[in-house]
A and B are shown apart, each in its own frame.
Chain A
């Protein structure tokens, strides 16, 4: 059974204080690892897809990396608008996504 564990559950940052979120996973035959952002009362919004160990992707202040067992989402010099819940999900060969419980990030001005 595919498993996805995200840590920490919650992260409080000062504006400009860089940090990292962790997503560890076990899956048979990884097709892709996805990062989503979810704002309160909204549906998840796609951020990145990573396919193989060593791959990195960047978007503004966010950078996602992938190893064979985990993925990191690095937030560099965060701003209050980066406050959200960040979700990690893995997809195996059957197209089904398995999600972690998420990390809620709060950035204070």
Chain B
């Protein structure tokens, strides 16, 4: 099991450029999500998905798009990069289950993005 994989590990963009951050998981998890992590602010949810074809916005969705065509993949698109999007981006996945209990999210290694 590779778990959650993310590519690239590092990326530098110029303002206005677009790019896609890739995320894949091999655990057959229904739930996938994208977070950004900034110093002193903790992890903030950007977008999430509860299954193929279903996505929804998190706390900080502006400037980002997602799609989920398969269970395994959940790419994050930056439409027109801005310096405020300089951050470390983490993808995560988890089993959802059907009962009252929660299941832990497994995180990828992160993508460090700098927008100049």
Given the interface pairs A31-B101, A51-B102, A101-B40, the reply to whether A95 lies near B31 with Cβ below 8 Å is: yes
Q: Is B41 close to A, CB under 8 A? A: yes
| Chain A residue at smallest Cβ distance from B58 | A96
Question: Contacts A42-B109, A42-B110, A102-B42 given: A96-B48 contact, CB under 8 Å?
Answer: yes
Count of chain B residues near A, Cβ 8 A:
28
Residues of chain A within 8 A (CB-CB) of B107 are: 36, 43-45
Instruction: For the complex, give the distance between the alpha carbons of A99 and B105 in Å.
Output: 12
A23 CA to B33 CA in the complex, in Å?
Answer: 23
Q: Which of A43, A95, A101 contacts B50 (CB 8 A)?
A: A95
Chain B residues 83-107 with CB under 8 Å of chain A are 90, 92, 94, 96, 100-107
Closest to A42 in B: B109
Q: Are A99 and B96 in contact (CB under 8 A)?
A: no
Could you tell me the distance in whole angstroms from the C-beta of A29 to the nearest C-beta in chain B? 10
On whether the beta carbons of B104 and A49 are closer than 8 Å, the reply is yes
CA distance in complex: A98, B33 (Å): 12
Assuming the contacts A43-B108, A96-B45, asked whether A51 and B101 have C-beta atoms less than 8 A apart, the reply is yes
Residues of A within 8 A of B103 (CB): 49
Say whether A32 contacts B101, CB under 8 Å: yes
A44 and B101: CB pair below 8 A? no
Query: A32-B101, A95-B102, A97-B105 provided; 15 other pairs, C-beta below 8 A?
Result: A4-B42, A31-B101, A31-B102, A34-B105, A43-B4, A43-B90, A43-B107, A43-B109, A44-B43, A49-B103, A95-B31, A95-B94, A98-B45, A99-B43, A102-B42
Give B contacts to A, CB under 8 Å. 4, 31, 33, 35, 40-45, 48, 50, 58, 90, 92, 94, 96, 100-110
